[in-house]
Amino acid sequence: MQLSNYVPVLNWGKNYKKSWLKGDISAGLTVGVMLIPQGMAYAMLAGLPPIHGLYAVTLPLMIYAILGTSRQLAVGPVAMVSLLTASGVGAIAEIGTEAFLGLAIVLSLMVGVIQFALGLFRLGFLVNLLSHPVVSGFTSAAALIIGLSQLKHLLGIDLARSHHVHEIVLSAVERFGEVNWYTLAIGLLGIGLIIGAKKINKAIPGPLLAVTFGILAVVMIGLESQGVKIVGTVPDGLPSLVLPTFTWEQVQALIPTALTISLVGFMESIAVAKAVQKRHRDYEVVPNQELIALGAANLAGALVQAYPVTGGFSRTAVNDQAGAKTGLASIISALLIVLTLLFLTPLFYSLPKAILASVIMVAVFGLIDIKEARHLWKVDRSDFWMLAVTFIATLSLGIEQGIGVGVALSIAVHIYRSMQPHVAVLGKIPGTDQFRNVDRFTDALETSGTLTVRFDGQLYFANLSYFQRQLNELVEARIPGLERIIINAEGISYIDSSAMHELHNFITNQQAKGIDVLFSGLIGPVRDAFRKNGLFTLVGQHNFYLNVKDAVEAPQTDAEGRSANELALQTNLA
């Protein structure tokens, strides 16, 4: 059982049911057929020969099927990672050169090492640095960049490669008179075929239909002579197993791209894996094991001359809908690609590049999330602006810089919010024992001579001045006449030494004024910190209560009442 946690194939393989086989075969063949045009198209997007997209769905796909915890996730090239590869490697080597290809393979090795290490050391939580608004803004902008980057193939004109939308659009407008109308027509018909097939039934391999149509059109009408650019010779046979060579200078130059792909790729993969797992209750997706599986898949990819892979949304959805029950479906898909490499690559000689562009454009434009932006505008303006800034930064600065801005913004917003947590003055709701925020509950009444305050958040050095300022303002507004301050600490999950020191000073100052300070609802770890720092002695154990009601109703000078409270604390809080 312990070994099966690290090699999940031992689990589902041992308990495999005959009833699953039909679905696995059907899904494996369906996704395998999808992978042929998608793999070639995404490799072209990454700036690599199309054959390397097929290499990426052989051994990596099998390795994930063995080590991955999701039984429906379809691993392979995806648009986002392809663009990141083109952007990161393109900054070091010229696209289309042997050096570029070599660095793309090294990038797969680096991503594999990073993801495998993150999983091994259980660091999957680092993906939480990418908040949902940042991911949505980044994905939408990247999808726009990816889609527009295919204009040159769709229009049949040479456009300078760029990761800035305005440069692509301006260049296309300036050279619109050079459009090859045959290329545009075949590309638009390919888009129509893919979208139409998806609307009829998502299991229909629309991209393969478009590929078949494109090849037949070129061969039967002779479109190559009309200037329609084709893929040309696709090498046949399986890739040789070779460990890529590299220098430390190359590794250092690729580290930012490798880290970005490792996190973004894992985030995309784990999101779709969890979404699909909700439909299947017979297994659990384990994030850290997913990192290990993806890392191993990318390491295997480097051996077969592939570039980085991850789990894809569209292929996984088709895999699930086609009836996949286990990782056997992915193994069947990989075997189909192996057969294609051995025997079928000559069939793709006449494949128009415009068709591959149509495959990419349909896939990525569905990632532009306008609904999320509208939703955030209505429910959370700060998250909306986080999305908007990430979107604009990605479009204007570039892919890697955009995600960097998004991560920095996520952390900054989180820190800012933690520096100004919610502070509420509590009052009693008449006829009940409940105490609520007097600003939200108009019938809540403050107790005469008592200030009851609730602090919702960790109390540490970064928000200490805010806490002091809020508390002092509330105290000053009730002097004279204030006799007690009750701090409801239910929402304080952590308190550091700086906060302890200042809290000690605050209590001492109030006691000097003749004002008692009481606490209610302290949780265990905070209570332990109070004991270690001497606050139990300073405040007096009789001034700690289980809830606000007990603190408010406690007599101020009643030795017997105090003893009862001490007894309750010793019995219930120890």
Written as six digits, the tokens of 152 are 């040159």
* Mean pLDDT along residues 394-405: 81
Whether pLDDT at 129 is above 50: yes
Asked if 131 contacts 390 with a C-beta cutoff of 8 angstroms, the reply is no
* Mean pLDDT along residues 378-391: 90
Q: For a pLDDT cut of 90, what percent of the chain falls above it?
A: 49
CA angle (203 as vertex; 197, 206 as ends), nearest 5: 35
The β-bridge partners of 436 are 427
Written as six digits, the tokens of 498 are 């700086």
Written as six digits, the tokens of 351 are 């494949």
Identify the band that residue 158 occupies on the pLDDT scale cut at 50, 70 and 90: confident
Residue among 282, 333, 348, 439 nearest 43 (CA): 348
Side chain identity, residue 316: T
Amino acid 564: pLDDT: 39
Whether pLDDT at 304 is above 80: yes
What is 194-237 written as a DSSP string?
A: HHHHHHH-TTS-HHHHHHHHHHHHHHHHTGGGGT--B------S
Number of C-beta neighbours around residue 406 at 10 A: 27
| Span 255-291, pLDDT tens digits | 999 999 998 899 889 888 887 888 887 788 899 999 9
Q: Give the span between the Cα atoms of 159 and 235, in whole angstroms.
A: 27
Q: Which residue has the tokens 């638009």?
A: 188
Q: Taking the CA atoms of 90, 92, 97 and 99 in sequence, report the sign of the dihedral they define.
A: negative
Amino acid 111: pLDDT: 97
Q: Give the span between the Cα atoms of 319 and 346, in whole angstroms.
A: 27
Side chain identity, residue 185: A
CA angle (472 as vertex; 471, 474 as ends), nearest 5: 65
Whether pLDDT at 152 is above 60: yes
Written as six digits, the tokens of 335 are 């075997």
* Mean pLDDT along residues 351-376: 87
Pick 207 or 214 by higher pLDDT: 214
Asked if 129 contacts 411 with a C-beta cutoff of 8 angstroms, the reply is yes
Pick 261 or 33 by higher pLDDT: 261
The β-bridge partners of 220 are none
Q: Give the strand pairing for 422-428 and 450-456.
A: antiparallel
| Span 38-56, pLDDT tens digits | 899 999 989 999 999 999 9
Q: Give the span between the Cα atoms of 145 and 80, in whole angstroms.
A: 10
Whether pLDDT at 560 is above 50: no
Q: Give the span between the Cα atoms of 254 and 250, in whole angstroms.
A: 6
Amino acid 556: pLDDT: 63
Amino acid 542: pLDDT: 87
Q: Give the span between the Cα atoms of 32 and 165, in whole angstroms.
A: 33
Residue 129 gets which letter from DSSP? G
| Span 452-511, pLDDT tens digits | 999 998 898 888 889 889 999 999 998 888 999 999 999 898 999 999 999 999 999 999
Q: Taking the CA atoms of 439, 444, 445 and 451 in sequence, report the sign of the dihedral they define.
A: negative
The helix (run of H) or strand (run of E) holding residue 64 is helix 59-67
Q: What average pLDDT is seen over the chain?
A: 88
Amino acid 115: pLDDT: 96
Q: Give the span between the Cα atoms of 546 and 573, in whole angstroms.
A: 8
Q: Give the span between the Cα atoms of 168 and 86, in whole angstroms.
A: 16
Residue 342 gets which letter from DSSP? I
Q: Which residue has the tokens 């994930």?
A: 64
Residue among 4, 69, 34, 56 nearest 326 (CA): 69
Query: Integer distance in angstroms from the first to the last C-alpha of the chain?
Result: 38
The β-bridge partners of 545 are 520
Identify the band that residue 570 occupies on the pLDDT scale cut at 50, 70 and 90: very low
The total number of residues shown for the chain amounts to: 574
Asked if 504 contacts 570 with a C-beta cutoff of 8 angstroms, the reply is no
Q: Give the span between the Cα atoms of 548 and 81, in whole angstroms.
A: 53
* Mean pLDDT along residues 421-449: 91
Specify which of 135-139, 206-210, 313-317, 334-338 reaches the highest per-range mean pLDDT: 334-338
How many Cα atoms are found within 13 Å in the side-chain-facing hemisphere of 115?
35
Q: Give the span between the Cα atoms of 452 and 441, in whole angstroms.
A: 15
Q: Give the span between the Cα atoms of 304 and 240, in whole angstroms.
A: 6
Written as six digits, the tokens of 249 are 């200078």
Asked if 114 contacts 308 with a C-beta cutoff of 8 angstroms, the reply is no
Amino acid 322: pLDDT: 82
Least confident of 339-343, 364-368, 426-430, 550-554: 364-368
Instruction: Tell me, letter by letter, the H, E, C secondary structure of 83-115.
Output: HHHHHHHHCCCCCCCHHHHHHHHHHHHHHHHHH
Residue among 81, 158, 45 nearest 400 (CA): 81
Residue among 44, 56, 105 nearest 258 (CA): 105
Q: For a pLDDT cut of 70, what percent of the chain falls above it?
A: 96
Whether pLDDT at 561 is above 60: no
Where helices occur in 175-327 by DSSP H, the ranges are 181-200, 206-221, 248-277, 287-303, 313-321
